[in-house]
Amino acid sequence: MKTTRRSVLKAIGGISLGGFLSTMGFGRTGSESFGYSQTENETDVLVVGGGPAGIIAAIQAARAGAKTYLLERGSQLGGNTTTGGVSFPGLFDAWGKQIIAGIGWELVKDVVTLDGGNLPDFSKVPDSHWMNQVHVNQFLYVLLAEEKCQQAGVQIAYHEFPQAITKTDEGWLVDCYGFGTRRRVKCKQIIDCTGGAVVVGLLGFQRLREEETQPGSMLFKLDKANNPGRPNGPGAGLLDAIYVHGADSSNSRTVTATNLTGRKSILEKVRKENRRLMHMQPEAGFRESYRILGETIITQEDYTSGRVFKDSISNAFYPVDLHTKDGVKPKPLQPGTVPTVPLSALVPKGSSNIIVAGRCVSSDRLANSGLRVQASCMAMGQAAGAAAALAVKLNITPMKVPLTNIQELLIANKAIVPKTS
Ligand SMILES: Cc1cc2nc3c(=O)[nH]c(=O)nc-3n(C[C@H](O)[C@H](O)[C@H](O)COP(=O)(O)OP(=O)(O)OC[C@H]3O[C@@H](n4cnc5c(N)ncnc54)[C@H](O)[C@@H]3O)c2cc1C
């Protein structure tokens, strides 16, 4: 039998990268210049950031028929859920019923099911809010997120980030860099899901940020010295966390400084306590950086009163949960209260053809300390993906898309939408 490269790869259980490379815009479509592999792409929607908000935004936009690219600076999807190790997304329920569903819930439910785990019973109101967070296997989560993106037709570009953006008559020209790669993307709509509104900052729109921000946390697991055992459970089960004050996800330097500080603290702990390091996430988890100044700012009062705005498109639920140097004292919401997010809080003030989703939602700091949790970010992501896809179809900016069109598309994709009238 003739031995080909493909048959060798098959025999050793490997896979060929050829197909991936050509669909990702490398290979034949790229050209070499100054040592960079260059490529140009045209797309309807460009999602930047592949965390809880970005994954769901991209899948929703693609399922609605928009050609969609997803840029992620890291090497996997999931953001804080996977790379940061916060593998317990919440909260999908409030006061005995499910209030967030849709594509985010589909992903979480499928991960738990494939992993043989149990889902919380949302008909029961737990004694403490965190009890109904859903524990997911962070490794499986990455695999299913990738699979669902690819099945929807989303093109994923890892290790890439936008470096310069120019406005055009049809939308945007976005110059992106990776290591050894350059990509110029012509797109109609951008969804900024970077956590810290990096794209909004690049475009020069106003962002909000206080002098003090919440600490990040580096997640890890220690065990007894000389204990030969393995950490409990796939995805490492429950991890310990150490605060990294001043943690900032804004750029490569601030992320580097955060990771170095977090790891140094863990090393000190290992030495001081004479324990064995069993597990450590590759990056710190980030709670807070920039938020956008949107067409609407969600205030603490809006959040804690469960205000329904005339353009509310998703629900949220979590206590006001501000971490400081003294720790955290969550302030639970009053029984029956379910906060909501209006479309106008996802749109940078004075902008067109760009929308955000996730923890950078336009909100004051205390409202943001509750809004930032993963289920709420997923629901915002689905709403932003729907609004962007419809904006492409109607050739208008997301704020001008009739609310009923967005609501109908979201409901068709199993999202739970607040009643606005
Ligand atoms: C320690 C800790 C504990 C938490 N506890 C909980 C909890 O119990 N339950 C809960 O639900 N939530 C919890 N959270 C909050 C939650 O995890 C985050 O707020 C949530 O992940 C935010 O989602 P996001 O998609 O907005 O942003 P992120 O998760 O931050 O994802 C942003 C993504 O964008 C990428 N990115 C950033 N900049 C660029 C760029 N320039 N180009 C390309 N890609 C870029 C990042 O690599 C990342 O993948 C916790 C957070 C932390 C840190």
Return per-residue pLDDT of the chain as tens, 421 residues.
344 444 434 444 555 554 555 555 544 355 666 678 889 999 999 999 999 999 999 999 999 999 999 999 999 999 999 999 999 999 999 999 999 999 999 999 999 999 999 999 999 999 998 899 999 999 999 999 999 999 999 999 999 999 999 999 999 999 999 999 999 999 999 999 999 999 999 999 999 999 899 999 999 998 877 554 444 455 546 799 999 999 999 999 999 999 999 999 999 999 999 999 999 999 999 999 999 999 999 999 999 999 999 999 999 999 999 999 889 989 999 999 999 999 999 999 999 999 999 999 999 999 999 999 999 999 999 999 999 999 999 999 999 999 999 999 999 999 999 999 7
55 contacts 82 by C-beta, under 8 angstroms: no
- Give residue 170 CA to ligand 1 midpoint distance, Å: 30
CB of 386 closer than 8 Å to CB of 409: yes
Distance 47 CA to ligand 1 centre (A): 15
Provide the H-helix boundaries in 118-229.
138-152, 198-202
First vs last C-alpha separation in the chain: 70
Report the nearest atom of ligand 1 relative to the CA of 286: 53
Q: What distance in Å separates the CA atoms of residue 412 and residue 415, rounded to the nearest whole number?
A: 7
| Closest CA relative to residue 260, chosen from 218, 323, 201, 314 | 218
**What is the 375 CA–ligand 1 centroid distance (Å)?**
11
Q: What is the pLDDT of residue 9?
A: 40
186: DSSP letter: E
384 CA to centre of ligand 1 in angstroms: 17
Query: 363 C-alpha vs ligand 1 centroid, how far in Å?
Result: 16
Q: Ligand 1: which of 60, 218, 245, 373 to mutate, most ligand atoms within 8 Å of CB?
A: 373
Q: Determine which residue's CA is closest to atom 49 belonging to ligand 1.
A: 79
The answer to whether 60 and 413 have CB atoms below 8 angstroms apart is yes
Q: Whose CA is nearest to atom 14 of ligand 1?
A: 373
Closest-CA residue to 338 (of 311, 377, 371, 385): 371
- Nearest atom of ligand 1 to the alpha carbon of 71: 43
pLDDT the model gives residue 235 = 54
- Which residue has the least CA distance to atom 48 on ligand 1? 79
Q: Confirm if 119 and 134 have CB atoms less than 8 A apart.
A: yes
Complete domains list, the chain, with CATH: 55-210+290-412 (3.50.50.60), 216-280 (no CATH)
Pocket test for ligand 1, best of 292, 374, 378, 382 (most atoms within 8 A of CB): 374
Residue 38 CB contacts under 8 Å (≥ 6 apart), including other chains: 30, 31, 32, 181, 182, 183, 184
β-strands 161-167, 327-328: how paired?
Answer: unpaired
pLDDT at 12: 44
Q: Which residue's alpha carbon is nearest to atom 8 within ligand 1?
A: 88
Which of 80, 286, 320 best tests ligand 1's pocket when mutated (most atoms within 8 Å of CB)? 80
Residue 14, token pair as written in the block: 């490997």
Residue 306, Ramachandran bin (φ over 0: left; ψ between -120 and 50: alpha; else beta) = left
Instruction: Indicate which atom in ligand 1 lies nearest the CA of residue 357.
Output: 26
Tens digit of pLDDT for each residue in 259-280? 999 999 999 999 999 999 999 9
**What is the spatial distance between Cα 281 and Cα 131, in angstroms, rounded to a whole number?**
23
Closest atom of ligand 1 relative to the 91 alpha carbon: 11
Res 234: pLDDT: 52
How far apart are alpha carbons 232 and 91 in whole angstroms?
A: 24
- Position in ligand 1 atom list of the atom nearest CA 376: 11
pLDDT the model gives residue 148: 98
Where does ligand 1 bind, in terms of residues with CB under 6 Å? 48-54, 71-74, 79-81, 84, 86, 88-90, 133, 161, 193-195, 198, 216-217, 241, 285-287, 358-359, 372-374, 377
* pLDDT recorded at residue 163: 96
Read off the tokens for 331.
């302030």
pLDDT in tens, 355-404: 999 999 999 999 999 999 999 999 999 999 999 999 999 999 999 999 99
| Helices and strands (DSSP H and E) totals, the chain | 11, 19
- 132-160 burial code (b ≥16 CB/10 A, e <16): bbbbbbbbbbbebbbebbeebebbbbbeb
Report the candidate in 345, 349, 352, 351 with the shortest Cα–Cα distance to residue 383. Answer: 345
For ligand 1, atom 22, which residue shows the shortest CA distance? 359
